[in-house]
Chains A and B, each alone.
Chain A
Amino acid sequence: MKLIHLSPPLDEEDIKKLRVGDLVSITGRIVTARDKAYARVTSGAKLPLDLRGGVVYHCGPLAKRTPDGWRIISAGPTTSARLDRAQGEFIRRTGVRALVGKGGVGGEVAVQLARLGCIYLAFTGGAGVLAAGAVEKVERIYWEELGPAEALWVLRVRDFGPLVVAVDTQGGNLYFPRSPEAFSQVHRQRPHRRL
């Protein structure tokens, strides 16, 4: 399959061309953010760097401090859905154009993403060493006081991927249940009714 190369900062045109199922790789700067950083941004904290057109990676890396600086050991994606409630607000405040994570976002969040011109890229969960191999350098760490997993890690990556476009700006969402019958059947007969 063809691999589409992206280099942030991205503009709306770069993003609009992408469709669910496309494979993407990223070279350039990406920034990690998860629960605590999201909470800080959505409560109005000033961003320590410009994220407009940027790529945010849902990840809490495992890293080791060495005499030459930080070395990333394992850095796969975390579950993006934990950030669902803050997602729309985070994108509005930061202007990011692409999220990288795993497990997808909720249906309503996917609609918000399309409206805000932001795509969702899936990296294989658990593939931490593979992801670490794409990191050329830890450029900086902001908000280190949040703890190593929750800080903003500014990473320079080369050929980070392959990432699957899983939510696009045209309403495509790979996580939408492919067997809606099975899904609704299960939910109609919810087995955990109160006795």
Chain B
Amino acid sequence: MSAIEVTNLRRVFKTTIGVLRRRAKEVVAVDDISFEVEPGELFGLLGPNGAGKTTTVKMLTTLLLPTSGMARVLGHDVARQAEAIRHRIGFIFGGERGLYWRLSAVDNLRYFASLYQVDPEVTNRRIPELLEMVGLADRCKERVEGYSRGMMQRLHVARTLLHDPELLFLDEPTIGLDPVGARELRQTIRNLQAAGKTILLTTHYMFEADALCQRIAVINHGRIVAMDTPEVLKREVRDLSVVELEVFGIPPAVVDRLRALPYVDTVSIENLDQRQSLRVQTPRGAEAVPDLMGMLEGLRVGRVVVREPTLEDAYVRLVGGEA
């Protein structure tokens, strides 16, 4: 039996616009997605912001009802059998919310342990262990309002493991963490999977998905555009080379013209301080460089690199160059 089974899942949000004359508007956040996650797997849901990752996770953790379609977690329907699921899963949405600021870390953990009906003896043993594991043992008696964002995120990790769930949902767990903290958290996640837990992770960091996940579903605009192991996804772009150009303030009109070229697959821009990294995916590789330079005439161009595609490029191609 799969740990997670999603079939034609759909979620539509209704909002209203306007003050005096309110008009209804529908937003399709998750549009007919299907996937399965096997027990013990570390599965990634990868997509840009607004793709529908968090909405999907909220449905699977019984916080949101699907508009249509079906989702089963650990064999139970998320809409109708929510109670059976809740004590066997843990979830993190992270950030600064979701903790009681006026209480200490220990108090927060104790409270959630009671809610999750963890035996008191087990609680007393597990809380120090978890605090040690996430590196909060020395500041556990301070009020949470004084914690940094990274510390709060780590407290979330401790909280979600209190009742030793077999299935974990981690929604963008490393966002807002410094690189060291993020790396430590990724190691923790690997350890959890090694201990036999099933994990569904959402992220918009391609390298994170590549590093951690055994299988990845790429989601964009509420739809799954690809689903496979990282290796297979990279093969998606095997035929492509990536020309990376360092530019300084390229006008959008020029970018559009580049995109319109017949031999250009996608163009994406990454802003790095004052510079921009323009990435052009094209099967022509190095041969395309003179033409591209011609299109960029008059603009200042720095380094030019032609390289093999990575998972990140596969991702960019899959989401249509919007990343």
A binds B: no
